[in-house]
Each structure stands twice: as structure tokens, then as C-alpha cells.
Chains A and B, each alone.
Chain A
Amino acid sequence: MIELKELCKKYEHFSLEVSMEVRKGCITGLVGKNGAGKTTTFKAILGLIVPDAGEVRVLGTDPAELTPKDRQKIGVALAESGFSSYLSIKDIAAVMKQMYDDFSEGDFLEQCRRFELPTDQRIQKFSTGMKAKLKVLTAISHNARLLILDEPTAGLDVMARNELLDMLREYMAMEERAILISSHISTDLESLCDDIYLMDQGKLLLHEDTDVLLGSYGILRVNPEQFGRLDHRYLLRRRQEPYGYACLTKEQQFYRENYPGLVLEKGKLDDVMMLMIGGEKL
């Protein structure tokens, strides 16, 4: 559904170099701290910026050549952009009705009411959570094959986040669909995504299936003496801690079996991210 091959975009103080893929039937997550390059990647995918090098294909086509008909198959929610906040939901419904063949005004308004969004009020009076819900509802309202969601859960409380993630799971119930979603809240992605890309300073540090990430990655917490005795072959990163080192491994089973006395925690995306970004490469 999406393919980036050695995409390169250079700015004065930032450079993006990414290769990635979003497959049909999958939810792919893009995670990284603020300023990692997630939004720039999204912009390149959506044809909002022109890459300096590399190739971008969305639904098999260069984004710059996507026709309006092609674009009907893509639903988008951007973190810092949307419909004018001077419009109301009813206004947006009227606009969407003209834009998309598969948009049902009645269903959209019904969904908005289900999520307690006032349809007559200007969006500028909405809370952050209400705005985020509206963006996602808008993106999924026209039977898109591909959803591109940049930080859709930013600024939401736990309840609202869960509601929103459930909406996305419902959306994926139909086959032939895919989602690319970014977030700096890694727990959201852990529970939702099939595979995850980790990004920092414009570069990808890691790509892994979520099952592998949660099942095989682990954090060893060792003192300097234990660290010295460890087999370093399967250690990816280490970070100095007050007690010694936190070490990231992709082979937690190996260390569990061979070093039964050591403190070994299951890998959580947050920990993996912290160590991949802030840790020392081994």
C-alpha cells in the first residue's frame, strides 16, 4: 500500500533518510520522539513535500501523480492540520459529500453523535480530544482503503485514546485495508500495530513485528561485574544506570536460559525506544 525506497529529504538542520513499507491488511506504526521525522515522512507519503532522492509509492503510484479519484481511497488525519476551525461538523459533512463518492452524510453525523461531538458548533470550541476524534472519524468516513494517521492520539486522555483505537480496530475488520499510524505514545501502538518502525533524527533505528518486539526483546539490568560476565553477542544497546547497566537484547530467551540469576524484563516499546535512541551501541 505504501513503499518508501531510500527516501531522502534534506533541510538546513535536519535530514530524513527512510525506507519502509506498509502492507495490505496491516497496521504499521511509526514511533519516535518529537522531531524524529515522523511528520516529514508522512508529508512525503502524501505528496506535500518533494523528496530530494529516493522513491515513494502510495497505492502503487507516485504521490505527486495521485489523481483525485486515487485520493478518495486514502483517509488522512494530521496532527497539526485539518479543516478550518471556523467550520462545524455539519459544514464538514457538506464538504465531504461533494468530495467523496462513498461518503454517507447520515452515517458520518450519526458516528459524530455516537462520540458526543456537537454537529452545529464550530470546531474551534471543541476540546483537544473532540478534535482528535473528529479527525479520525473524518478519515474513516469515506470507505478509504488506506488510512494515514499522524499522531491521532496526541493530547487525549486514556479513555478517549482507547475509544479511538477501538475505532481503528473496527475499521480494520474489513479486508484489503491498511493503516499507517504515528505516535509518540508507544503503548497505543503496542496494542494496535502489526509491525513498528522506530525513528530518530530522521533515520530508522528499528523495524520489527510487534509480536517479536514484545516477545523476544528484553531489558537486562546488570551491575558492572555481571555485565563483564555477559555474552555480548546478542546485546543491541546498553545504557549506564545508577546500579550498572540496562542492556537491550533481541534474544531474551537466550539470557533467560543461560543467566537465570539476572534481572530480565520483557521488552516494552517505551524501553526499547529509550535504549535504541539513548543507549550506546554494542
Chain B
Amino acid sequence: MRGLLVKDFRLLRQRIRFFAMLVVIAVFMAASGSAYGGSFVAGYLTLVVAMFSLSTISYDEYDNCYCFLMTLPIDRRIYVKEKYIFGAILGLAAWLIGVAIQSGALFFHHQQAMLWENLTEALVYIPIFLVMIALILPFQLKYGVERGRLALLAAVGLVAAAVWTLVKLGGRAGLSPAGLLARMSGLGDGQILTGCFLLAAAVTFFSFLISVRIMERKEL
């Protein structure tokens, strides 16, 4: 798997200017002060970079590289695992850079007191980007990058319809979303964050299993 990681990092090097530009924008955002306070910069960097990590699938698709890659000493499970790990490494790296930029800006504005609050707020972006990768990857592996986007949109529509139906049915059974939120507001930040991480881990695990199945059935 290390070979695949080396390949993807080297492919990503092609976009080094884009990443540098992202960091510059993030620095400007953080330096501009309270208007962009909170954990926005860390969130922005993390989500954009995590999305970008998926572009390595386009490189594998382009020139029909898939066929050749699957003749190398890896199996399809390893290929899938690498995509998740690569996305996680990039997302975490971007998150760390985002937090560092933000913390630097707080020091610059003499607001060190907000450091801890900002850090805990930024933590929520980690499960968010993990879930994002977990949702997108199976679609991209199944349908390819272009068709995968359309399939994902269709799936999001279906999920929204399913949620709407559940809410309606729950309403009839006396369970309202407002009541659920009110109950959640009683939880501490740590509990909510832990819940988010556990949910992200579960979603990622199931997404991985689905992706492996997709790749193992794929004819190249």
C-alpha cells in the first residue's frame, strides 16, 4: 500500500500551486480577524483538501490506469484501503495546518484565551470530512468521477426524501425533530463530539466494506 500512497502523493504534487493558494487564502481569512473567527479556516482547509484527495481517482481513471494498477502487487482491498487512508492523511494534515494558521492569527490578535475553544470547535471538522469521504468514495469507485457525482446527487436526494418521510412518520408517532434537538442540547460538547467521531467511524467502516465489494466486482 505504501507504493500506492507514494503514487498518489506524487500525483498530488502536480497541484502544489493550488494547495499553496489555499493556504494563502486561509492565512488571509485568519488574519482578517473576528469576521472569520471561530474554526472557519480549519474547516475550510480541511473540507476543500479532503475533497481534493478524491481527485487521485480521476488520475487512476484517466489513461485507463486502473487496469495496470491492478496488475501490481496489491489487491483491490488494498487499493480501496489506500484511498481512505490517503483521504484521511490529507484531511488531517489540512486540519492541522488550518488550526495552526488560526492559532497563529489568535496570537497575532492577542486572543490567546480563545485558543482552546477554537481547537475544540475545529475538532468537529474531522468527523465531517471523514463522513464526506466515506459518502463520496463508493460512488466514485462504482460510477467513475463524473457519473459518480451525479449518482451521489441522486443518492442525496433519495436520503433527503427518506428523512422527510421518517420525520413525517415520527410526527404521527409523537416524535418531533425539535424534541430530539432539545434532548441533544442537554448533552455536553464532549459527548456530542464523541458521538460525531463514533458516527464517522461507523459510516467510514460501512463505506469501506461497500467500496471493497464494488472494486472486487468491477471488471476492468
Write the residues of chain A forming the contact surface with B, with a CB cutoff of 8 angstroms: 43, 46-50, 67-69, 71-72, 74, 76, 78, 80-87, 91, 94-100, 148
Contacts and interface: CB of A to CB of B under 8 A. Distances in A.
A81 B3 contact: no
A238 to B, nearest CB: 40
B71 A48 contact: yes
Contacts of A99: 3, 72-74
A86 B71 contact: no
A95 B10 contact: yes
Given A46-B71, A68-B74, A78-B68, A86 B59 contact: yes
Given A82-B68, A86-B11, A69 B219 contact: no
Contact of A96 (B3, B60, B75): B3
B89 interface: no
Pairs A-B, 9 closest by C-beta atoms: A98-B3, A99-B3, A81-B67, A68-B73, A71-B73, A76-B71, A81-B68, A48-B220, A98-B2
A130 to B, nearest CB: 15
A71 B7 contact: no
Nearest to A48: B220
Nearest to A123: B63
Contacts of A87: 7, 10-11
Contacts of A96: 3
B64 A84 contact: no
B6 A84 contact: no
Interface string B42-77: 000000000000000001101111111011111100
B60 A80 contact: no
A71 B11 contact: no
B11 A78 contact: no
Contacts of B4: 95
Given A48-B220, A78-B68, 19 more contacts: A43-B67, A46-B71, A48-B67, A68-B78, A78-B67, A81-B64, A81-B68, A83-B7, A83-B65, A84-B7, A85-B62, A86-B11, A86-B14, A86-B59, A87-B7, A95-B4, A95-B6, A96-B3, A99-B72
A252 B100 CA distance: 82
Given A49-B220, A68-B78, A98-B6, A85 B72 contact: no
B6 A48 contact: no
Contacts of A74: 71
B56 to A, nearest CB: 9
Q: Is the interface of B mostly helix, strand, loop or mixed?
A: helix
Contacts of A78: 67-68, 71
Given A87-B10, A94-B6, A98-B6, A69 B73 contact: yes
6 contacts: A43-B67, A49-B219, A68-B75, A71-B72, A71-B73, A85-B62
A47 B68 CA distance: 11
A48 B70 contact: yes
A97 B219 CA distance: 28
A77 to B, nearest CB: 9
B144 to A, nearest CB: 15
Given A43-B220, A98-B6, A72 B60 contact: no
Contacts of A148: 71
Contacts of B14: 86
B59 A84 contact: yes
Contacts of B62: 84-85
Residue in B7, B60, B71, B75 whose Cβ sees the most chain A Cβ within 10 Å: B71
Contacts of A100: 73
Contacts of B11: 84, 86-87
A66 to B, nearest CB: 8
A98 B63 CA distance: 23
Contacts of A80: 64, 67
B68 to A, nearest CB: 4
Contacts of A97: 3
Contacts of B70: 46-48
A98 B73 CA distance: 10
Contacts of B78: 68
Contacts of A50: 219
Contact of B10 (A48, A68, A71, A94): A94
Nearest to B61: A84
A76 B73 contact: no
A132 B116 CA distance: 57
B209 to A, nearest CB: 19
Contacts of A43: 67, 220
Contacts of A67: 75
A168 to B, nearest CB: 18
